[in-house]
């Protein structure tokens, strides 16, 4: 079984790897067949994963319903994280913009509890920072939910250093969820030193670079029409050709340690800090098993030095999100 990890200075203890559930319902092509997705989630539990990540916007709502049904029989063994903050219409339609008004947070909380079939959320994130609502008001609203016993821990996603500090002063932040991998190392500059200073855990999403670090994607790969990677600048054919260098690096290390590129990418992340808990997503049982093995792969200091030296020299091509989407989600 996986060694547990604590998220920062909190008492939130979870498996070293979590399971990101978004892709089962949205984002990477058609939603998975429900019973098959439930089987993946329940196999993850039986394999030692205790940390499951969802959000109201995934679907919208479909992913929380899926996660709630899958985990209901084992609720006492797992920790569930969900998120608020996007505008969603009454019939589950995605609307433009963000909404972190305290009243909306509380409404969303009640709806999420029902969908997740639980009476408490272990970790509640603000999904994206809302420029129209002071972060102190957001932290205060979650603090009230914690005092009411409906939430156990407060998290932020993709928040900047100043925002994290301001929120933490009102209600201690247990975890920050942001993109981090060998495909996107920006958090190392300012965010990770701050998390260390404040005792906040780090939950990297897209730890496999939205699939790129598995080595299964190249410049000729065609994505489903509904796959959002079609609009991501970092996934244009030209960018993929340039960015293949990072996969070549992983392949070199993988052959040395008798592992797969994905396992090396996850082991590298886990080796960065003891308070990092990546949440790779998958819809396939064999990928789940592969990722789990990455949690027990121990890279040597020499391996880690080689990876860092080579990665430091790489200039990866393409933005994480198209410009209009960056503005929409406040990045």
- Please report, for the domain that includes residue 284, its CATH number: 3.20.20.100
The residues that are catalytic are 58
Distance of CA 255 to the CA centre of its chain: 27
Please give the tally of structural domains in the chain. Answer: 1
Q: Determine the longest span between alpha carbons in the chain, in angstroms.
A: 54
Going residue by residue through the chain (331 aa), what tens digit of pLDDT does each one get? 789 999 999 999 999 999 999 999 999 999 999 999 999 999 999 999 999 999 999 999 999 999 999 999 999 999 999 999 999 998 899 998 999 999 999 999 999 999 999 999 999 999 999 999 999 999 999 999 999 999 999 999 999 999 999 999 999 999 999 999 999 999 999 999 999 999 999 999 999 999 999 999 999 999 999 999 999 999 999 999 999 999 999 999 999 999 999 999 999 999 999 999 999 999 999 999 999 999 999 999 999 999 999 999 999 999 999 987 777 666 6
| Closest by CA position to 156, among listed 131, 128, 180, 182 | 128
**Residue 83 near residue 124 (C-beta atoms within 8 A):** yes
Domain extent for 261? 4-328
38/46 Cα distance (integer angstroms): 12
């Amino acid at each position: 079984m996986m060694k547990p990890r604590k998220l920062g200075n909190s008492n939130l203890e979870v498996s070293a790897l979590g399971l990101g559930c978004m892709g089962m319902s949205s984002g990477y092509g058609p939603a998975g067949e429900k019973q098959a997705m439930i089987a993946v989630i329940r196999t993850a539990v039986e394999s030692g994963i205790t940390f499951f990540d969802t959000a109201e916007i995934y679907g919208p709502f479909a992913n929380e319903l899926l996660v709630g049904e899958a985990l209901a029989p084992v609720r006492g063994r797992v920790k569930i994280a969900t998120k608020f903050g996007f505008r969603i219409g009454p019939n589950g339609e995605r609307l433009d913009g963000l909404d972190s008004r305290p009243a909306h947070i509380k409404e969303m909380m009640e709806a999420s509890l029902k969908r997740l079939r639980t009476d408490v959320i272990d970790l509640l994130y603000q999904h994206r920072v809302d420029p129209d609502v002071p972060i102190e008001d957001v932290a205060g609203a979650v603090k009230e939910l914690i005092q009411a016993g409906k939430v156990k821990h407060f998290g932020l996603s993709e928040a900047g250093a100043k925002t994290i500090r301001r929120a933490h002063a009102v209600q201690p932040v247990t975890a920050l969820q942001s993109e981090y991998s060998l495909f996107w190392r920006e958090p190392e500059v300012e965010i990770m030193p701050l998390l260390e200073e404040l005792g906040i855990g780090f939950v990297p999403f897209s730890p496999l670079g939205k699939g790129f670090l598995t080595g299964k994607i190249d410049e000729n790969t065609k994505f489903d029409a509904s796959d959002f990677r079609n609009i991501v600048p970092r996934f244009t054919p030209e960018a993929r050709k340039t960015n293949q260098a990072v996969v070549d690096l992983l392949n070199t290390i993988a052959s040395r340690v008798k592992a797969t590129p994905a396992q090396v990418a996850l082991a590298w992340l886990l080796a960065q800090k003891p308070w990092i808990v990546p949440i790779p997503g998958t819809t396939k049982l064999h990928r789940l098993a592969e990722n789990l093995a990455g949690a027990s792969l121990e890279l040597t200091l020499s391996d880690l030095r080689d990876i860092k030296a080579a990665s430091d020299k790489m200039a990866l091509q393409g933005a994480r999100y198209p410009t209009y989407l960056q503005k929409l989600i406040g990045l």
